[in-house]
Amino acid sequence: MALSVVGAQVMPDSGYNTAKAAQENLIKNSGRPYSIVRATPFYEFALGLADSATDGDVVRLPPALFRPIAADDVATAVARAAVARPTNAVLEIAGPEAMGMDDFVRLGLAANGDQRRVVTDAQAPYFGAVIDDHTLAPDETATIFATRYSDWIDADSSRRI
């Protein structure tokens, strides 16, 4: 059982995603039974994503659509896969809402009282790679979890992401 990321196979300019793609290929070619869960970026990554794209007080991010997911939902999917029979397949999981990466971070910063300004820039890299609406999109067979970003933020008013 391995946890991977949606988009790993299509982001050769991102070292992390290239490594995740290599991990998947090693597992698939190992001859051993396996299950791979690919998740979209977690809600919990909003501030880290902002930090990686910050210059001064400006956060420059693409408007690329994706469906972020709560880490608790990812843990549920991983736990289910870990106790089930290996599928010798990849299961993609995602959150219920498609949103632009720029808007995702904007909401996360606001929820934390962070005053950085998010500037939408279609050419801004996401961990080294220029992305579009398809790069981090789960496939049509993805399992969609129910936790909405706004509900996740509201669940604990002291939450810091």
How much is the pLDDT for 161?
60
Model pTM score? 0.92
Q: In what helix (H) or strand (E) does residue 136 lie, and over which residues does it extend?
A: none
Kindly tell me if the per-residue pLDDT of 57 is higher than 70.
yes
Domains recognised in the chain with CATH numbers = 2-154 (3.40.50.720)
Q: What is the mean pLDDT of residues 128-141?
A: 94
pLDDT at position 13: 81
Whole-number mean pLDDT of the chain?
A: 94
Average pLDDT score over residue span 8-19: 86
pLDDT band at residue 115 using 50, 70 and 90 as cut-offs: very high
- CA–CA gap between residue 154 and residue 111 (Å, rounded): 9
User: Which H or E run includes 155?
Assistant: none
Selection from 139, 128, 130, 3 nearest residue 67 by Cα: 139
Q: Would you state the pLDDT for residue 157?
A: 61
- Which of 4-13, 27-36, 97-106, 108-117 is predicted with the least confidence, judged by mean pLDDT? 4-13
Q: CA 49, CA 62: separation in Å to the nearest integer?
A: 12
* Class of residue 36 by CB neighbours under 10 A (exposed 0-12, middle 13-18, buried 19+): buried
pLDDT of residue 11: 84
